[in-house]
Amino acid sequence: MQIEVACEAARGTERPEKPGFVIGFLLGQEAIWLSESLRILREEAPDVEITLMTKSSPELADGRMQGKIDVALLRRETQTAGLVFEFLTKEPLIAILPARHRLARQSAVGPQDLARENFISTAQVAPVLRTVIDDYAGKEGITLKQNYDAQT
């Protein structure tokens, strides 16, 4: 068994290793950005081996700062010394409700409607998003009832 492993390792040294490139995507954003990202990389660097990662925004920022990720599509995190951000798009704030929820039948849901509902906090997995939500609630004069925490 050890001989087989050694032979395979030796064969691997005969072939030059392909350069690697790691792209990090914010959870759920791959569907939007993956196709175009791969097209650009294939045109610019066809021999590069591409690795895809999907993580939370803080994890992507950390991976980029540690050099484990070459480029990441994430939110502008606060603790990101040494990173440069380029604005790509705005994300809409949406309310996700069960299909049978009383508000799901309405064509529009107002902030006052949301104030009476339970809220799942994103503070641990997406602190920047949580700040945006808190700012929105404050601007609208509502307090969201945080009964649950999202976990990674």
Q: What is the pLDDT of residue 33?
A: 87
Q: What is the pLDDT of residue 126?
A: 76
Which tokens sit at 75? 């939110």
Q: What is the pLDDT of residue 123?
A: 64
120, 93 Cβ separation under 8 angstroms = no
- Write b or e for each residue in 14-53: b if 16 or more Cβ atoms lie within 10 A of its Cβ, otherwise e: eeeeeeeebbbbbeebbeeeeeebeeeeeeeeeeeeeeee
Q: What is the pLDDT of residue 2?
A: 46
Query: What is the radius of gyration, based on Cα positions, of the chain?
Result: 22
58, 68 Cβ separation under 8 angstroms = no
Closest CA to 127 of 85, 79, 81: 79
Q: How far apart are CA 81 and CA 97, in angstroms?
A: 37
User: How is the beta sheet containing 20-26 ordered, strand by strand?
Assistant: 49-55, 20-26, 71-73
What is the per-residue pLDDT across 129-150, written as a single tens digit (0 to 9) for each?
A: 888 888 888 999 988 877 666 6
Note whether 66 and 119 are same-domain residues: no
Note whether 68 and 31 are same-domain residues: yes
Q: Examine residue 135 and state whether it is found in any structural domain, yes or no.
A: yes
Task: Report the 3 state secondary structure along 45-58.
Answer: CCCCEEEEEEECHH
Q: Examine residue 86 and state whether it is found in any structural domain, yes or no.
A: no
Q: What is the pLDDT of residue 148?
A: 60
Q: What is the pLDDT of residue 6?
A: 47
Note whether 53 and 111 are same-domain residues: no
> CATH number for the domain including 54?
3.40.190.10
For the chain, which residues score pLDDT lower than 70?
Answer: 1-18, 123-125, 147-152
Q: What are residue 128's DSSP bridge partners? A: none
- Print the domain residue range for 22: 2-73
Q: How many CA atoms lie within 13 A of 144 on its CB side?
A: 24
> How many distinct structural domains can be found in the chain?
2
Q: Examine residue 63 and state whether it is found in any structural domain, yes or no.
A: yes
Q: What is the pLDDT of residue 14?
A: 55
Q: Examine residue 97 and state whether it is found in any structural domain, yes or no.
A: no
Q: How far apart are CA 110 and CA 79, in angstroms?
A: 33
Q: What is the pLDDT of residue 24?
A: 93
pTM, rounded to two decimals: 0.65
